[in-house]
C-alpha cells in the first residue's frame, strides 16, 4: 500500500498546526473552499509562531510591487493581513468568499473610498474588463482546482501592462525532494502535475504555474523563493529577526526549493483599459458587472440589480455580496 499524501500539518517545512486549525467549509459542488466563520485569523496567524512567515512574505511583496499604482485587486484578501502593503495604490479592492473575514478587515481598515470590500468566488469576478492596473493573490491558489480559470478571470479585469503578484505553494520544495529520494513519499516533486494533499489543497510545480500564467495572458517576469526556514525547530531555537534577515538574503538567489514561491507577472495582449471608470474613487459601482453574464448593474437602495436578467445582489453594511443573487 502506498504512503498517505501529506496533510497541511506535515507538509514540507510546514509549521506546527495551531491548537484549533482553520476549519474552511468545503463546497464540492462549486469547488470553493469557504472560510466563513472560521478562526483563520486568530488560530492560524495571531500569536501562533508565524511572525517569521508573515515578515518574509511582506519582504517578497515589497520587492515585487510597483512603487505606485491606481487600483489593485487583492484576491483572497481575507481579514486584510497584507492590505497595508499596498499603500502605493490609490485604491484597493479586497475580495474574499468569506463575509466574516471581510467584516473584520473593514473594522480595522475602515470605511473609505480607498478600500472596497467584495464577497465573491474568484472564478466569477464581478467587474468590467480592464479596471485594475494591479492585482495580488497570496496563499489562495492552492485552494483552486482550476487555476487557469481563476488566472484568466484576473487577467480579464486587468489592464494591459498591469502587475500581478501571485504566491503559490511549491511542490518541488527541498523537503519533498528529499522525502521522495528516500522512498518516504510516493508522489514525485519533479512531476509537473499538481498534487492534492488534502481536499482542495494543492501544491504546484513552479513550471506548471508558469505555463498556466502564460496561457492566461500573463508574462512571468521574476520569481522569488520564500520561507527557507519554515521549520518548527529552527523557529523555536533561532531568533525571528535572524531568520527573516537570512531569508531576505536567500530570496535573491532564485533557488525555487522553498515551500512558497512569489511570481511577478505583467498582463500582456491588447485588451480593454477602463481605468478611467470611477476615477475619483467615489463611483466605485461603475466598476461592477453581473458575475453571471458580465452585464451592467444598477443600484437600487442596498441592492445592485441587473436590468437584463433581474438578478439582485445585496450590499451588506458596506460589503458588496456577489456570492449568490438574492432570492425573490
**175-234 tens-digit pLDDT:** 999 999 999 999 999 999 999 988 889 999 999 999 999 999 999 999 999 999 999 999
H or E segment at 96?
strand 89-96
Residues 292 and 200 in one domain: no
Domains contained in the chain, number = 2
Is 231 within a domain?
yes
Share of the chain above pLDDT 70, in %: 91
- The mean predicted confidence, pLDDT, of the chain is 89
- Report the predicted TM-score, pTM, of the whole model to 2 decimal places: 0.89
Q: Are residues 296 and 201 in the same domain?
A: no
Residue 39's pLDDT is: 81
- How many Å apart are CA 42 and CA 37, to the nearest integer? 11
Using the predicted structure, report yes or no on whether residue 298 has a pLDDT greater than 90. Answer: yes
Domain membership of residue 59 (yes or no) is yes
Q: Are residues 44 and 192 in the same domain?
A: yes
Looking at the domain assignment, is residue 40 inside a domain? Answer: yes
10 pLDDT above the threshold of 90: no
Same domain, 171 and 24: yes
- Please work out, in degrees rounded to the nearest 5, the angle formed at the alpha carbon of residue 242 by the alpha carbons of 237 and 247: 110
Q: Which residues pair with 319 in a beta bridge?
A: 117, 316
pLDDT value, residue 91:
96
Within-domain flag for 39: yes
Phi, psi of 42, deg, nearest 5: -75, -30
Task: Name the pLDDT band for 119 (thresholds 50, 70, 90).
Answer: very high
Q: How far is Cα 200 from Cα 235, in angstroms, rounded to an integer?
A: 28
Residues 61 and 156 in one domain: yes
Do residues 81 and 194 share a domain?
Answer: yes
Q: Do 61 and 208 fall into the same domain?
A: yes
Q: Does residue 283 fall inside a structural domain?
A: no
End-to-end Cα spacing for the chain:
52
Burial of residue 227 (CB within 10 Å: 0-12, 13-18, 19+) is buried
What CATH number is associated with residue 268? Answer: 3.40.50.150
Same domain, 161 and 292: no
pLDDT band at 290 (very low <50, low <70, confident <90, very high): very high
Say yes or no: 292 and 266 in one domain.
no
Residue 59 near residue 40 (C-beta atoms within 8 A): no
d(CA 263, CA 149): 18
List pLDDT tens digits, range 240-283: 999 999 999 999 999 999 999 999 999 999 999 999 988 777 78
Ranges 9-23, 36-50, 58-72, 110-124: which has the least confidence: 9-23
Q: Computed from CA positions of residues 10, 5, 257, 144, in that sequence, does the dihedral angle turn out positive or negative?
A: negative
128 three-state secondary structure: coil
Residue 75 lies in a domain: yes
Whether 67 is covered by a domain: the verdict is: yes
pLDDT, position 36:
82
70 part of a folded domain: yes
Residue 40 scores a pLDDT above 90: no
Q: What is the pLDDT of residue 9?
A: 36
Same domain, yes or no, for 237 and 146?
Answer: yes
Do 223 and 300 belong together in one domain? no
Do both 208 and 244 map to the same domain? yes
How many Cβ atoms sit within 10 Å of the Cβ of residue 307? 11
Q: What's the whole-number mean pLDDT along residues 138-145? A: 95
Per-residue confidence (pLDDT) for residue 51, from 0 to 100? 94
Task: Give the range of the structural domain holding residue 85, as residue numbers without chain letter.
Answer: 8-273
Amino acid at each position: 500500500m502506498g504512503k498517505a499524501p501529506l496533510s497541511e500539518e506535515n507538509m514540507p517545512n510546514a509549521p506546527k498546526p495551531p491548537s484549533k486549525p482553520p476549519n474552511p467549509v468545503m463546497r464540492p459542488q462549486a469547488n470553493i473552499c469557504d472560510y466563513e466563520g472560521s478562526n483563520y485569523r486568530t488560530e492560524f496567524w495571531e500569536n501562533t509562531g508565524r511572525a517569521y512567515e508573515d515578515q518574509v512574505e511582506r519582504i517578497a511583496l515589497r520587492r515585487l510591487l510597483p512603487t505606485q499604482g491606481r487600483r489593485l485587486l487583492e484576491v483572497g484578501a481575507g481579514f486584510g493581513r497584507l492590505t497595508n502593503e499596498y499603500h502605493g495604490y490609490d485604491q484597493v479592492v479586497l475580495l474574499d468568499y468569506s463575509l466574516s473575514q471581510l467584516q473584520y478587515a473593514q473594522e480595522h481598515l475602515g470605511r473609505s473610498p480607498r478600500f472596497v470590500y467584495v464577497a465573491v468566488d474568484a472564478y466569477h469576478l464581478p467587474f468590467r474588463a480592464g479596471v485594475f492596473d494591479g492585482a495580488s493573490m497570496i496563499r489562495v491558489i492552492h485552494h483552486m482546482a482550476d487555476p487557469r480559470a481563476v488566472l484568466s478571470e484576473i487577467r480579464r479585469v486587468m489592464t494591459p501592462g498591469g502587475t500581478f503578484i501571485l504566491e503559490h505553494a511549491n511542490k518541488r520544495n527541498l523537503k519533498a525532494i528529499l522525502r521522495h529520494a528516500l522512498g518516504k513519499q510516493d508522489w514525485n516533486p519533479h512531476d509537473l502535475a499538481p498534487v492534492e494533499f488534502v481536499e482542495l489543497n494543492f501544491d504546484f510545480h513552479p513550471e506548471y504555474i508558469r505555463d498556466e500564467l502564460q496561457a492566461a495572458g500573463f508574462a512571468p517576469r521574476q520569481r522569488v523563493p520564500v520561507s527557507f526556514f519554515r521549520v518548527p525547530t529552527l523557529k523555536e531555537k533561532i531568533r525571528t529577526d535572524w531568520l527573516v534577515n537570512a531569508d531576505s538574503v536567500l530570496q535573491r538567489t532564485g533557488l525555487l526549493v522553498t515551500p512558497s514561491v512569489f511570481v511577478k507577472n505583467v498582463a500582456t495582449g491588447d485588451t480593454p483599459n477602463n481605468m478611467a471608470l470611477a476615477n475619483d474613487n467615489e463611483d466605485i459601482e461603475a466598476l461592477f458587472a453581473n458575475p453571471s453574464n458580465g452585464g451592467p448593474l444598477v443600484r437600487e437602495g442596498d441592492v445592485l440589480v441587473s436590468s437584463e436578467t433581474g438578478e439582485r445582489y445585496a450590499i451588506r453594511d458596506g460589503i458588496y455580496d456577489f456570492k449568490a443573487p438574492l432570492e425573490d
